[in-house]
Structure 1
Amino acid sequence: MLFWCAILSIFHYPAASVAKSTSFHSTALKPGKVEMGINQRFRYEYLDEFNIKKYGTGHDDNVLLSRTQPYLRYTISRGPSVFLQGQDSRFWFSDDIDKEDYIQGCPYYNEFDLHQAYLEWRTIAETPFGFKAGRQSVGYGDTRIFGPGGWGNVGRHLWDAGIVYYETKNIKFDFIYGKKIFYDWDRFDEDHYDYHAYGMYVQTKPLTDHTLDFFYAVKDSDSGISEDDEFTVQTAGFYGKGKWHQFDYNATAAYQFGDDGKDDIAAYMMHAEVGFTTALRFKPRLAAGYTIGSGDEDPNDDDQGTYDGVFGGVAKYYGRMNLFSGSNLTNWQTSIAVKLYKGFSICVDYHWFRLAEKKDAWYYCNNKVMRKDETGDSGSDLGEELDMVCKYKINSHLKLMAGYACFFPGYFVENTGTAEDAHWAFTQVIFSF
């Protein structure tokens, strides 16, 4: 009922005038300018037969999520800037999730903490060089390789990192080193995951309306108790997007190699999508895409073929319900999106999910094994998902969003455990001042 009320409110809410800035205070403070603001997000979710931890719960659940992000920015013209941001993430009403179940890293709950605090200077003294250093989120391209994962209430990736920029008119290099933050829901976030991350991201524009990026990323741990705990995962590839008349496209490809304990890594990911925006009323865009994240053909040998999601997001790429992570997965997708009027759009997506390798596992959104049949006899058909999402940007201060999704399990799910249809509905509001 709350979902449909939100849909109706979207159509009846009066449009407001657009403001120039989302900050509630901006003023000159020599030699620069100070800006303060706050982003507040509330999201209600109804989940049936699944939750953030697993599929097949046998019941439904409700959760109300809140995320508060106050911030302060001080910028010197043609000079450095300082950005400070806090974050408080909380939830209510859920019967399935209890923050006490998590020693660290509850995905719904993290008491007020320092979220970002960095110093950035894009072009030092008008040279091609610049830097960004401190606690920060990192995102590039379509966020499949580097992305903050901002849909989650707490967030997916946050870094204590340093980035060195080198930028010319035609090309931009970012050299990255960092350690990923481990969220502590009841104390200051000072712990890190047990690996180092470093790499390079290169952005180019070979033609007008076309972008071609290259990336190289390393996830490295050499501090394990034994050799079996150590790993080095290297990922190299490209991301491209562009448009030509009424057509548009985007594509990402990544190849992984390295060592995970005694196993040799050889994995890959490929994604391609093409869209066509018609000249009809409401500008409907039709799109079709295909994504594959490789799996492990033989789990018992010394070769590892399961694609590792690197540091990317998953929320909108493998179904809105977040039942999959992109590892050992193929995803056929079709979409239609319409813009009914300024600021308001509706998008409907259809997904058909299959295992890339029958003997490898179904990996959930947290990249943990959900189900597995090492014999391969359960097949590869995971199921189908249908998503509908409505967005309404009223102005720069207020954004509304609502959606519904359903998952219909396939042969693999039916043969490995509970196989009930799953449903999800949500409403969301974001205030920015």
Structure 2
Amino acid sequence: MIRRSSIVTLIVCATLCFSSAALAASTFSGYVDLRYRYEYQHHFNLKAYGEQPAKGESCDGFWLQRLRIGGSWRANDWLTVAVGMQDSRVFDSDLDADSYFYNKRLDHQKNPYEDQWELYQTYLELKPFQEHDLTLRIGRQSICYGDNRIFGPGNWGNSGSYHWDAAKLSWHSGDHFIDLLWGAHIIHEPEQFSLRHRHENYGGGFYSHAQISDDWAIEPFYVIKYDEHGSFSAESGTDDLVCHSLGSRVTGLIGPMILDATLVGQWGHFGEDDLRAWGAHFGLGHCFKHVPWQPTIKVDYCYASGDRDPDDGTRQTFLGVFGARDSMYGRINLFSWSNLHEVQATVMAKPRKHLKLTMELHRFWLAAKQDGWSLSSKTYRDKTGKSGSHVGDELDLIVQWQLPALRPVKGEKISIRAGYSRFWPGEFAKNVADNVAADWVFAQIQYSYRF
């Protein structure tokens, strides 16, 4: 049997040989992206909350490292070949990854911190019918659209939330496009190459964009998410997952205000329960371009339905789609787009050309107080609804600075980002988890080079 290390060595050698040959051609483009981040979590972790959490450590400080390297070669007008690798690692974490990140349903680790030497952006892109503006991309790829709420790579996570093995057929005409998709996203198992184990969820459908006018656009979509391993436990029994999501995003201008809205309906089955759920987002913002520091003020509201009756055989908990949650439901990532009411106020300012300051205020409620908190819906749930619905409030402060170039090389960037967040528990969190506040601190430096 071929060892994983041998496979990685072969891929790295092939990548280097390919890159060396392609560099001689003017159609080669490459990238190197290296990121280091320090995080300190106080009174919470990725799956639990409080001074004595149900799982994992209450306080943890650790380093994250991520390297992405690769490139693409345009062989001719109808063929592009891309090869890339990603290596994600964590240092000094107090978590026992084998137990903390082990997923019983997948029978593997599902690790957001670490996944060593995995394929990244490795695909063939074909344009066999150029006169019809069609492009076919097959292989490992990132899939993202719009505000990343429906499809998003989840790049803040060290290993990335969604890396797809997929086929995508795209039609573009000016500002209009429609993409047909089919594939599956990988499991981030640190010590196993992804080609040697199953995927997590399978999915497909379409995502489109129609530019109605200079100021307005609409993005209809349909997505199916399914898993036929029969491992989804529900009120009526355990079975497969089949989730259909149909909806649209709309963006435009209302006077000086920027509107961004998304509405999604879901149906299908979760285990042996019928699935009937929906989610929505509505945002209004305005940038004062002629004011010092060019401040932007934005207000957002998010909704995701929850299950109001734990015994009726119908699941009303919205499952999200394949979207990121990096900056949408609080920076600490205590929430996802599920059983949620959220109101968010954001203020951004640019004191300097390459310096950006952001402050966010969030308030979170459960959409259905009989359902669970998405941090761990089985652990933090009161089926009687007597624990209330207000989960808590969060303050996020972020500073981002792009450093001056160290050398006169086009395509090279170095950026620094740092932040602090505090979460104050509300009635529900105090009743089912803990009454202590949680804090999060991070500092990150990122180097990227495109050539």
Question: Structure 1 residues 71, 194: CA separation in 2 closer, same or farther (over 3 Å shift)?
Answer: closer
1:12-161 superposed matches below 5 A: 29-30=24-25, 33-58=27-52, 59-76=58-75, 78-98=77-97, 101=100, 102=102, 103-121=108-126, 124-161=129-166
Runs (5+) with no aligned partner, structure 1: 1-23
Tell me by how many angstroms 1:151 deviates. Answer: 0.7
Structure-2 residue corresponding to 1:265: 275
Structure 2 stretches of 5 or more lacking a match? 1-18, 53-57, 103-107, 406-411
C-alpha spacing 1:133/1:290, structure 2 compared with 1 (3 Å): same
Is contact 1:51-1:57 (8 Å) kept?
no
Alpha-carbon distance in 1 for matches of 2:377, 2:28: 43
Per the alignment, do residues 48 and 170 of structure 1 end up closer, same or farther by CA in structure 2, a change over 3 Å counting? closer
2:22–2:73 CA contact under 8 A, matched in 1 = no
> Taking structure 1 as reference, are residues 202 and 56 closer, same or farther at Cα in structure 2, changes over 3 Å only?
same
SS in 2 for 1:139: coil
Q: Is the 8 A contact 1:45 1:427 kept in 2?
A: yes
Match for 2:212 among 203, 206, 219?
A: 206
Q: How big is each residue's C-alpha offset from its partner over 1:258-304, in whole Å with a ceiling of 9 and x where there is no partner?
A: 11232111101110010122232111111111100110110111111
Q: Is the 8 Å Cα contact of residues 179 and 207 (structure 2) preserved in structure 1?
A: yes
Structure 1 residue 126: Cα displacement: 3.2
Which moved further from structure 2: 400-409 or 104-113?
104-113
Residues 403 and 380 (structure 1), Cα distance of their counterparts in 2 relative to 1, 3 Å cut = same
Q: Does the 8 A contact of 1:120 with 1:133 survive in 2?
A: yes
| Counterpart amino acid of residue 145 in structure 2 | Y
Pairing partner for 2:357 from 331, 340, 346: 346
2:194 alignment partner, SS class: coil
2:186–2:200: 8 Å Cα contact kept in structure 1?
no
Name the amino acid aligned to 1:319.
Answer: G
Task: After superposition, give the CA deviation of every residue in 1:323-380 in whole Å (9 maximum; x if it has no partner).
Answer: 011210110111111011112110100000000001000011xx65440000000010
C-alpha distance in structure 1 between counterparts of 2:229 and 2:133, whole Å: 36
Cα 1:323–1:380 shift into 2, 3 Å: same
Q: CA deviation at 1:97?
A: 4.7
Structure 1 residue 120: deviation in Å?
1.5
Distance 1:257 1:100, change over 3 A: closer
SS at match of 2:149: coil
Equivalent position of 1:414 in the other structure: 430
Change beyond 3 A, Cα 1:254–1:195: same
Aligned to 1:432: 448
SS in 1 for 2:38: strand
Q: Report how far residue 72 of structure 1 moved.
A: 1.8
2:16 alignment partner in structure 1 = none
| Matched letter for residue 346 of structure 1 | L
- Residue 251 (structure 1) shift: 1.0
Do the aligned residues in 1 keep the contact of 2:230 with 2:271 (CA within 8 Å)?
no
Whole-Å separation in 2 of the counterparts to 1:26 and 1:100: 44
AA in 2 matched with 1:63: F
Greater percentage in strand:
1
How far residue 170 of structure 1 moved from its aligned partner, in angstroms, is 5.2
Q: How many residues align?
A: 407
RMSD: 2.2
- 1:123: Cα distance to partner? 7.2
2:345 to 329, 334, 337: 334
Q: Deviations over 1:82-133 (max 9, x none)?
A: 1111011111122235356544222211111212311123674332211111
What is the CA distance between 1:244 and its match in structure 2?
A: 5.4
Aligned to 1:10: none
1:44-82 Cα distance to aligned partner (Å, 9 max, x none): 111100112321144422011000111121124643221
Q: Say whether the 8 Å CA contact 2:258–2:285 is kept in structure 1.
A: yes
- Report the TM-score, using the length of structure 1 for normalisation: 0.88
Contact 1:25 1:37 in 2 (8 A): no
1:149 CA displacement: 0.8
Deviations 1:404-429 (A, max 9, x none): 10000000111113221000011111
Task: Report if the CA contact (8 A) 1:25-1:36 is conserved.
Answer: no
Q: Which residue of 1 aligns with 2:12?
A: none
Within the candidate set 377, 393, 412, 1:384 is matched to 393
Instruction: Indicate the SS of the match to 2:238.
Output: helix
Letter of the structure 2 residue corresponding to residue 299 of structure 1? P
Letter in 2 for 1:300: D
SS in structure 2 at match of 1:363: coil
The AA in structure 2 aligned to 1:375 is: T
- Scaled by the length of structure 2, what TM-score is found? 0.85
Of residues 226, 249, 258, the one that matches 1:248 is: 258
Identity of aligned residues (%): 32
Match of 2:3 in 1: none
Report the Cα distance in structure 2 between the residues aligned to 1:355 and 1:53, rounded to whole angstroms.
Answer: 17
Is the partner of 2:111 in helix, strand or coil? coil
**Aligned equivalents of 1:295, 1:391: Cα separation in 2:** 35
Indicate conservation of the 8 Å contact 2:247/2:263, yes or no: yes
Of the structure 1 ranges 99-108 and 376-385, higher mean CA displacement relative to structure 2 is found in 99-108
The equivalences for 1:221-236 within 5 A come to 221-224=227-230, 228-236=238-246
Contact preservation (8 Å) 1:26, 1:35: no
